[in-house]
Amino acid sequence: MSRGFFLTFEGLDGSGKSTQLRRLAAYLEAHGHAVTVTRQPGGTRIGDRIRALILDSRTEPMDAMTELGLMFSDRAQAIAEVIRPALEAGRIVLCDRYTDSTEAYQGGGRQLGSEVVLRMHAVMCGGLNPDLTLLLLPDFNRSLARARRRNGRSDKDENRFETEDQAFHRRVYDRYRAIAAREPARVTVIAGDQSIEAIHRQIIRLVDEKLRAATPAS
């Protein structure tokens, strides 16, 4: 590939996306691909500071537009520092969350709407879109319960979104479904409560197919 391949993982916390991203990265590296793994918010020195501010449950009150601005400030830094350089070097970039998360959480959960998020994406991200997005949508209630249990065991306070009520998370979930319906060529939904291994096999089949299609014939 002359240009790298940009793949994002999306879903509610507790959906298993981070586990699947790590497994895919290991698979790709074992098969000779150069892989860059990053996350949002975070993934850069500046981004990690923004992440700590956004996710800390003590960061209240924060206006929804302030939150939106911080998310895109983090993303612009990640694109400039990590994502674009990796793609220009022909690497596969695996990113845990991207603009779809912002559209789901701030556009849907915070009820800011999709239009303002997509306008900011065009300006702050230069319109850089993933080549493929894997959206993990297991059972809503189980996913939310897993996220709250996990964050309760963590020594980091990153619980700010998990403390939101069920209606907030339902809006996020529904907005994810709307994004997938709007962009079926980019977004692949992996729904239902399957085993980690079954989901991994499904993902590697899909990604192998997409990478072959993206590789110019010699």
Domains, the chain, ordered by start: 5-213 (3.40.50.300)
Give the count of beta carbons closer than 10 Å to the beta carbon of residue 82: 20
Terminus-to-terminus CA distance in the chain, angstroms?
11
* Cis preceding-peptide flag for 216 (omega within 30 of 0): no
Q: Which helix (H) or strand (E) holds 39?
A: strand 35-39
Whole-angstrom CA distances from 83 to 16, 97, 144 are 23, 13, 29
Provide the pLDDT for residue 1. Answer: 43
Cis omega before residue 85 (within 30°)?
no
> What's 216's DSSP letter?
P
Q: By C-alpha distance, which of 98, 106, 173, 108 is closest to 130?
A: 98
Q: Which two tokens stand for residue 196?
A: 């980690």
Is this structure's pTM higher than 0.75? yes
| Single-letter residue type at 117 | V
Block mean pLDDT (10 aa), the chain, length 218: 87 92 98 97 96 86 95 98 97 98 98 98 96 94 78 63 89 97 97 92 97 78
Question: Residue 194 corresponds to which tokens in the numbers above?
Answer: 């399957």
Looking at this protein, which amino acid is placed at residue 39?
R
